[in-house]
Structure 1
Amino acid sequence: MLGGARSGKSAHAEGLVSADEQVTYVATGRRDPGDAAWQARIAAHVSRRPAHWRTVEAGDLPPVLAAATGTLLVDDIATWLTGALDDTGAWDGDLSGARARCEELVAAVRTCPSKIVLVSAEVGLGVVPATPSGRLFRDELGSLNARLAEVCDEVLLLVAGVPLRLR
């Protein structure tokens, strides 16, 4: 599930799993207690999830995917990539560590024994970011989204709240 900011992609992805499925919601965004807006956004996501869903906060996705049982809903790839870029020092120019982590993620998605619903931002449809870090993020996320789409059975794009089936 790809989509722009506030497009409804997370809510739509949540609706792709049936109410009786065993779902593990994998939250990739890192908590920042000093960012009230981010905390409110997390709380909004938590409040609309069914109580029987299990939530895992994970920055390291491949082991979570390898050990999966039931359905996984990963929300989202963009925040996971931000963490990978942070952890590997990629913002300073050496992308090799972050790209290796991306390849590990693609391999883990390919071989995951469970149904996975991935949510990711589509950031390449707008203006060219003004900063080098913005351009780096846009390019790396676009590349990762494309590689993940290659190993997924279905790909949806949410535009203005409307899902479009790409595959």
Structure 2
Amino acid sequence: MSDSSPTPRRVRRTRRTLVLGGARSGKSAFAEGLAADPGPVRYLATAVLDPADLDFAERIARHRDRRPADWTVVESADPTAVLTDSVSAAAAGATLIDDVGTWLTARIDARAAWESPRGTIAPDTDAFVGAVEAYAHRLVIVSPEVGMGVIPATRSGRLFRDEIGTLNQRLAAICDEVFLVVAGLPIHLK
């Protein structure tokens, strides 16, 4: 007599996950849940806090309050440097990058590229994509999806939209899975 019980499916744990979404879509909370299951989490907070910007400081505080106390948090992180540092990678479980948009803004600022031609920050984005692709551990990346709305009225707004759109496409191509979060609901794209 044969056993007719179903064969247990082996759960495939993906290595790289990209989570996209608009402002206040729930993308960070969703990504935090993905990163936390199971094991330790290293949280790369890419935002550079401007103490004069109280609204942004409040937003960052809400993110801090939501994180578990046992997570390792790297503030104002340069994800390219962290991902390529093999010593710090060995100690980490999952690494969560939140988010690519604030990192990109900091790179455009660092190169004073807001009025420069598109592609001026290509060395930075190339290095970041290369670091993501080479990273051998669990990685969850949060990035804004900004190309679904009104065309920005300013050159800097259009520059950011175009650069993040291109970068998101490159990340999606190398990630094992991609989610779009809309109104708190994750949609599995890849």
TM-score of the superposition, structure 1-length normalised?
0.95
Number of equivalenced pairs? 167
| Preserved CA contact (<8 Å) 1:23 1:70 | yes
For 1:69-113, what per-residue CA distance to the aligned partner results, in whole angstroms no more than 9, with x for missing partners? Answer: 321000000000000101012112145541110000000000012
Identity of aligned residues (%): 51
Q: 1:52 matched to which residue of 2?
A: 70
Give me the whole-angstrom Cα distance separating, in 2, the residues matched to 1:118 and 1:165: 14
* CA pair 108-22 structure 1, distance change in 2 beyond 3 A: same
Larger Rg: 2
**Residue 32, structure 1, aligned to residue 50, structure 2:** yes
TM-score of the superposition, structure 2-length normalised?
0.84
**Residue 63, structure 1, aligned to residue 81, structure 2:** yes
Where does structure 1 lack aligned partners over 5 or more consecutive residues? Answer: none
RCO comparison, higher one (Cα < 8 Å, 6+): 2
Give me the whole-angstrom Cα distance separating, in 2, the residues matched to 1:131 and 1:93: 13
**Root-mean-square deviation over aligned CA pairs:** 1.3
Where does structure 2 lack aligned partners over 5 or more consecutive residues? Answer: 1-18
Question: Shift in Å at residue 58 of structure 1?
Answer: 3.7
Question: Shift in Å at residue 60 of structure 1?
Answer: 2.3
Aligned partner of 2:177 among 146, 154, 164: 154
Q: List aligned pairs for 1:60-99, cutoff 5 A.
A: 60-67=78-85, 68=89, 69-99=92-122
Give me the whole-angstrom Cα distance separating, in 2, the residues matched to 1:10 and 1:83: 19
- Runs of at least 4 residues off by over 4 Å: 94-97
| Preserved CA contact (<8 Å) 2:35 2:95 | no
As a proportion of its length, which structure holds more helix?
Answer: 1
Q: 2:135 matched to which residue of 1?
A: 112
